[in-house]
Each structure stands twice: as C-alpha cells, then as structure tokens.
Structure 1
Amino acid sequence: MSNQNFFVNKFLYFLDKNTEDFFHDSLIYIFEHDQNGALGIIINKTIDIGEDKIFSSLNIESLKNKSQKNLLNGGPVDIDKLFIIHNSDDKESLCVKNGLNLTSSMNVVKNIASGKFKGKYKLAIGYCGWDSGQLDEEIANNSWFVIEHLPNFVFELNAEEIIPYLSKELGYDLRQILNSKDTTKH
C-alpha cells in the first residue's frame, strides 16, 4: 500500500446496518494508519460517565464546575485507558497535520482538571485498532465509508449531533448509504 492510500485525518462511517454490531452507526476519526496498522477514536458515541468521575477516580482535584460532560466511547480496545482528543500544541501528543491531536498524558488530564489547558478537547475511553492490512481489507470489502472533511466540528457538537451535521454538510444522509461498491468512495 502506498502512502497516498493511508486514511490518516479521515473519518470512517460503519456501513453495516446490524444494530447489534459494536460499530453500528459509528463515525471514527483516524489518527494513525500505516503499514503496521491503524488507530482511531469513535467520535459520535458517549458513555454515561462524566469528566468529574474520571478526575475523582484518578485522584485529581478539579477546579472545573462539576462538569457533566460525558466521555466518548472511543472503541473496544484498551477500554480502561483514557485518551484526550484536542487541538492544542502538546509535545506528548500524536499530532495529525491539519487535523486533531491525541494523547493519554496525565499532565494534559491534570491541566484540563485545573482549568490550565489551552485548547478544545474531548475525553474518550478506549480506541479502535486494526492490525497491518486489516483496515484496508475492511474498506475494500465496503465495511466503511471514507469521508474527507475538516475535523473542527468534533469540538463544536455533541456526539449525537455529529452524524446529522456531517450528513447535511456532505449533502446526503450517511445513515441511508448501503454497503455496496457503487456507493463507497475512497
């Protein structure tokens, strides 16, 4: 696979309509994709845990006003690990050119809790991971619809608003796309 086919800084929408599938109606932002595999975070699904509970469980005093901002359900891998999606410059982050940044740095978590963090962010538990060639095969089999769009909206919208917003921006309803080779573009 050549570099131009990697899906970094793109979104993937899961096309299978089986409501029992973990990825049903999921939109994933890809932070890393190369010959070794891929890593992404689901950005449109939350879990019923607020930031305040995370700060408390990590014994971090929060100066924020009892935030009830729910965490993203980032994916089925490493579900005990906290990830921070953000737009701030941070040397401990995986930074995507013209995209979002990702870290699991406790320093960043502490800065968020104390109100010192400069930038927009969302917290996520877990991530989505693919082994070498696995994501490419899934895309070739039309499991995922690849979307190129600036990621700024991730911080501006609640998780449940993301699919309707992106559908309007693209000019078609993502939830109505069928998984056939004729409708999948990449």
Structure 2
Amino acid sequence: MVSYLRDEKERGFLDGQFLIAMPGLQDGNFARSVIYICAHSPAGAMGFIINRHQPVSFLDVLDHLDMLDDDNEASKGIDLRGFPVLMGGPVETGRGFVLHSDDYSGESSIPVTDDVCLTATLDIIRAISQGKGPRRATMMLGYAGWGPGQLEVEIANNGWLNCPSCQDLIYDPNVDTKYERALALLGITPEALSTEAGHA
C-alpha cells in the first residue's frame, strides 16, 4: 500500500479526487461506490470507498485493540459510537486507515492534499479515543487498489466518473446518500447516467 503513496510534489492527476461508479460497473465491490483517491501514479492507484457501511463500530475496534476503558468516552464527552467506520475496499480488509483533517499529524501521517491526510497506525486510533485526535476524521477497514494502468483502462471503458472531492462527503457518517450527492457535484443525477460511453 505504501508504494502507492508518493511525495506531494509527485501527486497524480487523480490524487484527492472522487471516483464515482457508472451504472455499468457491476463488480459487487464497487457498484454504486464513491471512492476517494489517495494516490495515483504509474505504479497504480489506491483509495477508499466512502459510502459503504462497516458492520463493526469504532467501539468494537477499540475493544478488539484492547483500547477500550472508562477514560475513552465518559471523561472526554465524545460520541465514539457515532464515529464512522467504513468498508474502505476489498484489499487488506483487516487493516485500519484513517482519513483526517490536517490538524493532526502522527509519525506516519501522509498528506493526500493540502487539507486531507492519511494515517494508518494505532497512534491516531488512541488519540481519537482520548479526544486528542483530528477535528474531522473517518476510519476505513481495507482499501481499493489498482495495478499499473488498470484504473486508466477502467475510466476509458466508462467504468468511472471523476471529479474534485468534497470534504463534507468524506467525513459525513451518513453514507446512504453519498452516491447521489457525489453525482450532484457534477450536476447530474443517477437517472441521467448511461451505461454506454458516448462517441462523437
């Protein structure tokens, strides 16, 4: 996964963008998905699905990591039950990743854009549980990855639309309408999409 991530001077043209699945994309992992792309280069691409529920909660994650204690929620007044945990993709589904605002930086935090960072270590989980984490964040289990040239082919084959991302959509725990809201960023509705690419 780390090999996808490059120095900010080498950002790919899809870095920090949304991919929105077209109706013709029937892959069960990606149908009606909205993906935030964190890295795109000749080596491939990686990102996170931001509109899929995860059947575990943040409290479940803390419990699994043996980080759940009385200090977590009661003393800090944070609603850890409402902290979003999403199904980030089909790769490394047991691994946690946190997309977050740039007001938190751990040793392994990597800037995706000027405003969004990615951290994949336990320090940010602990910080969030103690009320010392970033102002805005969402956690994903797993990620989506593409090999060299694979994503470009899928886009050329009318599998995806892409557009600039919106931070409100990244962090919003209400995932059920993110697909429609992402399309609205392009000024279109799901009904307006065609499964066939247009040719002039």
Counterpart selection for 1:24 from 13, 28, 31: 31
State TM-score, norm by structure 1: 0.85
State TM-score, norm by structure 2: 0.80
Retained in 1: the 8 A contact 2:15–2:113? no
Distance change in 2, residues 1:124/1:24 (3 Å): same
Which residue of structure 1 aligns with residue 88 of structure 2? 74
Q: For 2:136 and 2:12, locate their aligned partners in 1 and report how far apart those are by CA, in whole Å.
A: 29
Which residue of structure 2 aligns with residue 34 of structure 1? 41
Structure 2 residue 174 is the aligned partner of structure 1 residue 158: yes
Residues paired across the two proteins, number: 181
**Pairwise CA distance, 1:150:** 3.4
Q: For 2:66 and 2:11, locate their aligned partners in 1 and report how far apart those are by CA, in whole Å.
A: 44
Retained in 2: the 8 A contact 1:31–1:100? no
Where structure 2 has 5 or more consecutive residues not aligned to the other structure, the ranges are 1-9, 74-78
Counterpart selection for 1:131 from 135, 147, 153: 147
Which residue of structure 2 aligns with residue 84 of structure 1? 98
Distance change in 2, residues 1:19/1:175 (3 Å): farther
Q: 1:43-54 maps to which residues of 2 (within 5 A)?
A: 43-54=50-61
- Cα deviation per residue 1:51-83 (whole Å; 9 max; x = unaligned)? 000000001135125514441110000011011
Secondary structure in structure 2 of the residue aligned to 1:182: coil
Distance change in 2, residues 1:149/1:106 (3 Å): closer
Equivalent AA in structure 1 for residue 40 of structure 2: H
Equivalent AA in structure 1 for residue 39 of structure 2: E
- Cα deviation per residue 1:10-65 (whole Å; 9 max; x = unaligned)? 11111144666221100000000101111100001111211000000001135125
Retained in 2: the 8 A contact 1:42–1:128? yes
Which residue of structure 2 aligns with residue 170 of structure 1? 186
**Pairwise CA distance, 1:92:** 1.7
Q: For 2:94 and 2:11, locate their aligned partners in 1 and report how far apart those are by CA, in whole Å.
A: 33
| RMSD (Å) for aligned C-alpha atoms | 2.4
Retained in 1: the 8 A contact 2:22–2:161? yes
Which residue of structure 2 aligns with residue 59 of structure 1? 66
**Pairwise CA distance, 1:105:** 1.2
Q: For 1:97 and 1:69, locate their aligned partners in 2 and report how far apart those are by CA, in whole Å.
A: 22
Secondary structure in structure 2 of the residue aligned to 1:170: coil
Q: For 1:120 and 1:30, locate their aligned partners in 2 and report how far apart those are by CA, in whole Å.
A: 18
Q: For 1:137 and 1:154, locate their aligned partners in 2 and report how far apart those are by CA, in whole Å.
A: 25
Between the two proteins, what is the percent identity of the paired residues? 25
Equivalent AA in structure 2 for residue 67 of structure 1: R
